[in-house]
Amino acid sequence: MTRTMTAKAPVLEIPDPKTLAHEVLSALKYRVGKGTNVATQYDWLTASIKVVRDRIVDHWMQATQEAYAQQEKRVYYLSLEFLIGRLMRDAFSNLGLMDNMREALKSLGVDLDLIAGLEPDAALGNGGLGRLAACFMESMATVDIPAHGYGIRYANGMFRQEIHDGWQVELPETWLDHGNPWEFERRERAFEVGFGGSVESITSKDGRLERHVWKPTEHVQAVAYDTPVVGWRANRVNTLRLWSGMPIDPILLDKFNAGDHIGALAESNKADALSRVLYPADSHKAGQELRLRQEYFFSTASLQDILQRHLSQYGDLVSLPDKAAIHLNDTHPAIAVPELLRLLMDIHGMDFDQAWDITKRTFGYTNHTLLPEALESWPVPLFERLLPRHMQIVYAINAQVLLEARATNQFSGEQISRISLIQEAGDRRVRMGNLAFVGSHSINGVSALHTELMKETVFADLHKLYPDRINNKTNGITPRRWLIQCNPGLTALTREAIGDRFLDDIDAIKGLEAFAGDAAFRDKFAAVKRSNKVKLANLVADRLGIRVDPSALFDIQVKRIHEYKRQLLNILEAIALYDQIRSHPELDWMPRVKFFGGKAAPSYHNAKLIIKLANDVAKVINSDPSVRGLLKVVFVPNYNVSLAEVLMPAADLSEQISTAGMEASGTGNMKFALNGALTIGTLDGANVEIKECVGDDNIFIFGLTTAEVAERRSNGYNPRAVIEGSPELAQAVAAVSSGVFSPDQPDRYRELIDGLYNTDWFMVAADFDAYAAAQRDVDAVWRNSPDWYARAIRNVARVGWFSSDRTIRQYAKEIWNVPA
């Protein structure tokens, strides 16, 4: 049956403020158990969420029943990270309740913005990969795809960052302290998860091998917690199902009774550890056993759930690929490939060939990084000890793949060894990227450039063997959170100019283009930008005591701190500019504030040093009277989704300056542009496509291309000579190395400086002059304010294509084979 014939979700009915106020009061009384006289702000928050959640539930059940009745194919998105942030505004806005709810709360003496600010940020992700999963969940609901997200309900998400004396300090994040009013605990939806043990082979009477039985020695259970995900105008409500680890026997009574009180709790602690904490390093493979346990824990629970749902509806598993598309968000759930084979063969009695065919037709896999240090692989001995049956299955898959490779007669021995799922050089390891690749019918990159590089580098040999599997799906962002909600001023102005169609179809934002030449509109646009900058300036004044001028150019680089993202290049340019301002006070400098924000992996030494440098440089520049306020540097602590919602609308300039070839896509670049910032960036990741959309005149591109980076690296790049040949850079580097910014410890940055002089793998020196020149071009355009805003408006008008609705429709059509 086609979708057009299905009954639609209930018509979106918008209750008046009086009704809502009544519902909030009732929720406060009956759900929170408080009266208005004793209610805390948190209680009001909980009551408000309960009211909106109740409304969501009607749409949710309808969508679920509809998917069942229509036998629709479902999408299952497996991801170890969902960086969803706060949900209340999202829900109010998507249900069209924002204005009436604000008024309802006001009538009760409650400030919506105040309680919204108390909602904890669900920080169940590191950065780009996790936030993409959150945007995808919202877009799948919006474009009406029946989908479930599967992940882990970490008790402690991404750590909270504080800056003490310029250094990053990590504190535990405890988002569940006040409970989680959004979720539904499903104790009955629990699956057993085993680890360790051995494999028994069952043979028939005539000696034929019949099946394998895995006998794990450890058992825990995964319990489901469901959070509804509301699409725009509540088109559809989908489910984010997060697993929590629980012991099967909370207390081992025999041990307890024997007096071993600690031993009695051992199982409970082990189960608890599985969903305790999110690994905070997104640039280095974790290597710890607990991480592999987490990966298996959530993969098997999700697959058991999917198979159970499918079996109860269709009665067999042969039809699985027709009714379920399971997507692997990076290799973190790649263990699901041998796990599905195990379930199909060992539990449901299929033979390898049939199970392998079903597996490949069911899975799709997205690669999010080419950095060799981030590609997952697990030591064979660890894999074998924890998952002995999966090890056997990996060998069986490998035998099959290598047979296919050899049969083509196209591969040398070296190529065959690169195709193998087992890395033999050094210690033997299971390559999770290769496993995800061979077990999927589609492997996609996240920008055009990244996808081409995948074909040429990590997956070159597998691409030759299976040439029709790699495809591109350029990332996107949800315009609901990243425009409509976070930038109400620009949304209102856009509605006034071009009407409401862009709210439902972001392509219609193209209509703004016509206003780039309209002086009155440009003034209004500038006024919106200014008020967003005032909001950021106030936040910085409140939290850091730093005063910044909202009429200065707001230049922002916010993202994880990593050498390849080159925050160091930006800091060195700030130092060079500082030097210029002091040595040429007679010149007419354009006032600028450089904002930095981002977390460093706790074990990433150089990244932490870069944070300290940014703070040291800020301290010196901000307190030097000879700068006359023309340059300020601000490091905003604890960058997260909620802060991004303040930063993106306030930016004039978006810094996207990674070494070409190293940033898979970037999504912050898209958020900034949609909010009217101009980009200064390299030809890396999705910047390439942003440039194509906005046009060369509306973006500042500089620096080496991917091919030039490779060429410089292979032709004996000499950073020392480059530094010595650039007076500005040499001066900036000398200032850092002589302790200008660290008088208390002049050699603090020696490692960073030595790295620059001796290796400079990330080509900071090679790109410095081009970057500094591009920054002076920025100043020149900024000086001519009408021209600047015309370009900013063109950015907004031309980046509708980077909506995650577009991305999701492409996945639906080209990978999942579901209507959208």
Nearer to ligand 26V, 121 or 376 (CB): 376
- The DSSP string of 299-333 is HHHHHHHHHHHHHHHHS-STTHHHHEEEEEESSTT
Please, which residues have CB within 8 angstroms of residue 139's CB and are 6 or more apart in sequence? 231, 476, 478, 803, 804, 805, 807, 808
Nearer to ligand 26V, 92 or 378 (CB): 378
- The DSSP string of 470-509 is EEE----B-HIIIIIIT-HHHHHHHHHHH-SHHHH-GGGG
Sites of contact with ligand 26V (CB under 6 A): 126-129, 132, 279, 281-282, 285-286, 330, 368-369, 374, 446, 475, 663-667, 685
Q: What are phi and psi of 449, to 5 degrees?
A: -65, -50
Q: What are phi and psi of 349, to 5 degrees?
A: 75, 15
Please classify residue 155 by burial: count the beta carbons closer than 10 Å to its beta carbon, then call 0-12 exposed, 13-18 middle and 19+ buried: middle
- Are β-strands 442-445 and 470-472 bridged in parallel, bridged antiparallel, or unpaired? parallel
Nearer to ligand 26V, 247 or 364 (CB): 364
Q: What are phi and psi of 465, to 5 degrees?
A: -75, -40
Separation of alpha carbons 451 and 358, rounded Å: 26
DSSP, collapsed to helix, strand or coil, labels residue 734 as helix
- Are β-strands 429-431 and 442-445 bridged in parallel, bridged antiparallel, or unpaired? unpaired
Angle between helices 567-583 and 764-783 (to 10 degrees): 60
Nearer to ligand 26V, 631 or 690 (CB): 690
Nearer to ligand 26V, 359 or 474 (CB): 474
Least separation, in Å, of the C-beta of 463 and ligand 26V? 19
Q: With contact defined as beta carbons under 8 Å apart, do 118 and 42 qualify? A: yes
Which amino acid, one-letter code, is at 490?
L
Least separation, in Å, of the C-beta of 637 and ligand 26V? 21
Residue at shortest CB range from ligand 26V: 128
Q: With contact defined as beta carbons under 8 Å apart, do 641 and 666 qualify? A: no
Which amino acid, one-letter code, is at 526?
A
Q: With contact defined as beta carbons under 8 Å apart, do 340 and 375 qualify? A: no
Least separation, in Å, of the C-beta of 667 and ligand 26V? 5
Neighbours of 41 (CB within 10 A): 13
Least separation, in Å, of the C-beta of 128 and ligand 26V? 3
Neighbouring-strand partners of residue 376: none
Least separation, in Å, of the C-beta of 294 and ligand 26V? 10
DSSP, collapsed to helix, strand or coil, labels residue 241 as strand
Q: With contact defined as beta carbons under 8 Å apart, do 184 and 53 qualify? A: no
Q: Which of 796, 721, 196 is nearest to 515 (CA)?
A: 796
Least separation, in Å, of the C-beta of 169 and ligand 26V? 20
Nearer to ligand 26V, 309 or 809 (CB): 809
Pair of tokens at residue 40: 């805390």
Q: Which of 681, 692, 691 is nearest to 659 (CA)?
A: 681
Least separation, in Å, of the C-beta of 205 and ligand 26V? 48
Nearer to ligand 26V, 221 or 294 (CB): 294
- The DSSP string of 17-81 is HHHHHHHHHHHIIIII---TTT--HHHHHHHHHHHHHHHHHHHHHHHHHHHHHTT--EEEEE-S-
Residues acting as catalytic residues: 368, 559-560, 565, 667, 671
Least separation, in Å, of the C-beta of 31 and ligand 26V? 36
Nearer to ligand 26V, 466 or 604 (CB): 604
Q: Which helix (H) or strand (E) holds 221?
A: strand 218-230
Least separation, in Å, of the C-beta of 444 and ligand 26V? 10
Least separation, in Å, of the C-beta of 126 and ligand 26V? 5
Nearer to ligand 26V, 560 or 791 (CB): 560
Nearer to ligand 26V, 154 or 363 (CB): 154
